A = this chain, B = another copy of it.
């Protein structure tokens, strides 16, 4: 017997978001923040994520305005850049990931760091006013924060900092939250990853659910 299941994509989204709103504690978010949090929870399948999401004041409007004005989206991995729903972008925004650039291994060797961090050296011409999205590598987020300690470094409009894992993830996100070089969105602790990061991008890109 064939399995029976919901095949209407819009119905699946609506039912998913209704479940999240019924189960997750979203009371501390503003209305526009709540839409971001719901999508991030949806991507992870974990309502408990709500307690770990932090959106700094002005993050949603800064990120949304930047995208509406054509800002580039700078991503640390191709799992993030490939996940961005192009149809939700308000200005056919460029989505950039430099990790596979052939210059990256040489830069990493010269700087004595990871390829994920070294890839950010190729962001500089696109960084001013951009939406930065780091969903995998704590070293990339730390490297970004160190770059931004130089007042002459081009400044993004907003940062989504959601690296995942057991070494440096919690620490790098705490450092972003403490430094706050721009409005930002983080997931505290070990949780995070490309799916949550993509969800945050897709949520600020469009109010549509």
Contacts and interface: CB of A to CB of B under 8 A. Distances in A.
Interface of A: 1-3, 5-9, 12, 15-16, 19-20, 42-46, 77-79, 82-83, 112-115, 117, 138-139, 142, 145-146, 149, 164-169, 171-172, 175, 189-195, 198
Given A82-B78, A139-B5, A195 B193 contact: yes
Contacts of A2: 146, 149
Contacts of A112: 7
Contacts of A139: 5-7, 12
A199 to B, nearest CB: 11
A36 to B, nearest CB: 17
Contact of A15 (B78, B146, B167): B167
Contact of A82 (B6, B19, B79, B195): B79
Residue among A1, A138, A166, A194 having the largest count of chain B Cβ atoms under 10 Å = A166
A20 B164 CA distance: 13
Contact of A5 (B83, B138, B192): B138
Given A3-B146, A165-B16, A190 B9 contact: no
A136 B116 CA distance: 25
Contacts of A113: 7
A170 to B, nearest CB: 9
Contact of A79 (B6, B7, B83, B138): B83
A3 B79 contact: no
A46 B114 CA distance: 23
Contact of A9 (B5, B114, B145, B191): B114
Given A79-B82, A191-B45, A192-B45, A166 B15 contact: yes
